[in-house]
Structure 1
């Protein structure tokens, strides 16, 4: 074979390898500037809902919602598919007369974007759920799990957004105190087993425990771990770090208190030097801040409360020192004093990443209830929260920097209703707390979407509340970007790579 033939083969091979290659230089072959990456709707989403609870009195409602997105094709039967099904129970799973495993029955089966779908479960035996959505039902797919417990440990309202699987989670605000029963729920959506490490950090650093190492979660299975079994010592304030050695899981902490009710503690936003914890209710009777510095350096933080009129320093708590690898907690008391607010944490000097969450209490004496507000990301391109009701849904919006304007859309109800849209402008350094807009002619529950219009970044949360024999039962869900779109660079062929 001569040299010319070899060169031709090499050129053809290189050409085949780069077909569809996306040019990443500052410009194309003619030195024109590269265009910005387009944001396109995602084509598939995965969500996992933890086991609702340990109480026989638990009544759980599931609300699924996908906001309409441009570029996802026609609605109706061609819109895509989505379903939430119980996790497999492994060997011994219920089967038919021939012993074959039954196809799990979907708890929720959404039909189209723009309209909520609901399901329900009762008692302590309700399983964790695994969900997938594709096509037009995938972008921004959101599922809210709301559980009502009328009496006993953890009584009140417990809500959580079903979450996507990941490999790393922080939960500041967990506890192994005698009055608390905290479980970390680990759910594996994949066909292979996942191996997870669970590490606790207290006020003096890492809590030694070998029990939390190498926890195995089988394929399509969920495992609850009682945190008090990981240590012999009660800790009122802990940070829980969950990492997957192999595979991936969804993780959430169920926190139940003998006297203060209970709620879900979701994972906090990734470690960052500045954090926003939005939506402390105006009638909060006690607020506890829990923070953790996972790196090698101590963190010194400036603490500010963004109120309706501006940012102020909580009395006696204008700064917080967080030692490296240790959990710090401070009781802020009734910090809002009748004016809903959001907590802003910023570095006083050097930028050191931290994670943080709030435990918020409403009510007095025996009629108290708690919820958690973890630090969260901003609303991004669009944020979505499901399971809103005609009464008892409050929206909190915070602009820590420049003022920002957002558009809030209330979807039709799962029974009936006409969507409505309102715009809200949030002044810089303030929190705007409003009753959530309600669709006209509402029947059932509905969803809210928050989209930026202009100005600076906006952070948000939704509080859902109801009365239970005098107890102000409530739950708070933050409003990070719903990740309905993904950045896709413009692709182009670049044949210059085969030129010599």
Structure 2
């Protein structure tokens, strides 16, 4: 018995030496339980973003913009860089390191920095940021093409690497040229599977299995090569077997321009697709449920005055494993809106995206709007010119209060902030602030202040000849902070009761 007691006391002493001062608690201590459950949000100290190659047009004009919002508590001077990656059209070896000259040199927090590239050889980019530049760091990429395939405007918020992506809304019909760009930021190859799902289910093909993306390289995959049958509406699933990649789809139409399609929010029973432009002439909704149970959804439009149920499309059934598409026409009827999908019965996870068209005939242009999650702490659109930006904010449930901050201009001007109330069930075309004495471009940051969840998107319009060229980017939470639990030692687990 004495040996056991001494052994136990020795364990406690050893633990105290290893862990430092420990607070001994008992399971019934409610105050300590609450302390353990609480958490503090602290700024991240490193961020990684990936920008795919913007395409292959020799008349392409691409602008990159980097921005980090000021974050309270961020420490260290830090630095950020955007370096070119190897383009790998076929399987093969990529460079071990990102190489070449930096596209731009990001500034410190609070001021955007821009860079440009002209022609068809713009590379994919690997961006890394550390210290005070890391929390909320965002990079935007906008490409203007005057003529030819993809003519118009395409834009993308460069994303973080991950292991799974869903892209409802891709196509392989004759007029479409859709590439999924896979970008590997790491020092070892990544192995990826791409699966297509159409109106009849999974498209049988072995060509999408085991695709190797070399280390520090990018690889575009033409989706039309993965399926013999041409289909207008498909869902692409990108699953990573080993490693991680960035993934985005460049969807181009011979007659209707095109844009980047970013991944839908993770499969969920309730989805919000925020910010359909008020002058949209056609809207097509594409949905997919990856499970084995059909999903029945109510469809509503959060308009500036409240929820509206679109006539003829009050509900929709998404059959398990099949891609479902619904033509909503000019659903907005001159007023901006956000599409809200809610289950009528059980909670069945769904992914969704919209294909939005402006203009008519040969003078039309398309963009894509995937479902996006709520802004938890902050979201940023880094690249607003003096004119042409529209910001849509929606509160699909309860009324919400948000703060919108316009940064200083990249070449001068003072930033400012304002707060706005977004009534529940509405979408507002926000009259956001513009920096005083603006020179260059500026960033817009959206932060929830109180109330229910909010979703947002940015539309950028830049006429190209007679085409109403535009691009839409949903504003995703920037994950600039992370919850760190307030942990305390609890040695009561060593006491046998």
TM score, norm. by length of structure 1: 0.93
Once the two structures are superposed, residues 340-376 of structure 1 have per-residue CA deviations (whole angstroms, 9 ceiling, x without a partner) of 1110000011111100000000011111000000000
Number of residue pairs the alignment of both structures matches = 491
The aligned residue for residue 462 of structure 2 is 466
Contact 2:390 2:458 in 1 (8 A): yes
How far does residue 108 in structure 1 lie from its aligned partner after superposition? 2.1
Indicate how the Cα distance of structure 1 residues 427 and 24 shifts in structure 2: closer, same or farther if over 3 A, else same.
farther
SS in 1 for 2:297: strand
1:53-96 deviation per Cα after TM superposition (whole angstroms, max 9, x unaligned): 121111111101010000013xxxx52111110014689999xx
1:63 lines up with 2:84 in the alignment: no
Counterpart for residue 319 of structure 1: 315
Distance in 2 between the 1:262 and 1:24 partners?
61
2:189 is the alignment partner of 1:188: no
Deviation at 1:104, TM superposition (A): 2.9
Who is 2:255 aligned against? 259
Q: Decide whether the 8 Å contact of 2:87 with 2:124 is kept in 1.
A: no
SS of match in other structure, 1:119: strand
The answer on whether the counterparts of 1:398 and 1:430 sit within 8 Å (CA) in structure 2 is yes
SS of residue matched to 1:366: helix
Q: Which residue of 2 aligns with 1:72?
A: 74
SS at match of 2:468: strand
1:97 alignment counterpart: none
2:199 is matched with 203
- Secondary structure (helix, strand or coil) at the match of 2:298 reads strand
1:424 aligns with 2:423: no
Measured in 2, the distance between the counterparts of 1:291 and 1:299 equals 10
**SS of structure 2 residue aligned to 1:468:** coil
Cα deviation for residue 4 of structure 1 reads 7.3
Are residue 411 (structure 1) and residue 413 (structure 2) matched? no
Instruction: For 1:132-171, list aligned pairs within 5 A.
Output: 132-171=128-167
Displacement after TM superposition at 1:460 (Å): 0.7
- Counterpart CA distance in 2 for 1:164 and 1:24 is 41
String of CA shifts for 1:77-126, please: whole Å, max 9, x gaps.
Answer: x52111110014689999xxxxx989532112213101001112222211
Residues 437-476 of structure 1 mapped to structure 2, 5 A cutoff: 437-476=433-472
Distance 2:26 2:241 in 1: 36
Q: Which moved more, 1:270-279 or 1:26-35?
A: 26-35
Q: Gapped runs of 5+ residues in structure 2? A: none
Return the alpha-carbon distance in structure 2 between the equivalents of residues 48 and 432 of structure 1.
31
For the 8 Å contact 1:22–1:491, the answer to whether it is kept is no
1:389 and 1:180 map into 2 onto residues whose CA distance is: 30
In 2, Cα distance between the equivalents of 1:380 and 1:26?
Answer: 32
User: What RMSD, in angstroms, separates the aligned Cα atoms of the two structures?
Assistant: 2.4
1:362 aligns with 2:364: no
CA, structure 1 residues 284+112, in 2 after alignment: closer, same or farther (shift >3 Å)? same
CA distance in 2, matches of 1:56, 1:196: 30
Paired with 1:377 and 1:106, the residues of 2 have a C-alpha distance of: 32
Per-residue CA shift, 1:449-481, capped at 9, x if unaligned?
A: 001122111111010001111111100111121
Q: Supply the distance in 2 between the matched residues of 1:202 and 1:45 (Cα, whole angstroms).
A: 36
For 1:323 and 1:310, the matched residues in 2 are separated by: 29
Shift of the 36–10 alpha-carbon distance from structure 1 to 2, 3 Å rule, reads: closer
CA distance in 1, matches of 2:7, 2:301: 71
Q: 1:120 to 1:28 in 2, by over 3 A?
A: farther
Secondary structure of the residue aligned to 1:496 is helix
Structure-1 separation of matches of 2:93 and 2:306: 59
Contact 1:173/1:238 (8 A) holds in 2: yes
Aligned partner of residue 61 in structure 1, secondary structure:
strand
CA contact (8 A) 1:26 1:33 kept: no
The TM-score normalised by the length of structure 2 is 0.94
Any idea what SS the aligned residue of 1:229 has? helix
- In structure 1, what is the equivalent of residue 328 of structure 2? 332
1:296 aligned residue (283, 292, 295): 292
> What is the CA–CA distance in structure 2 between the aligned matches of 1:364 and 1:270, rounded to whole Å?
33
Residue of structure 2 equivalent to 1:37: 39
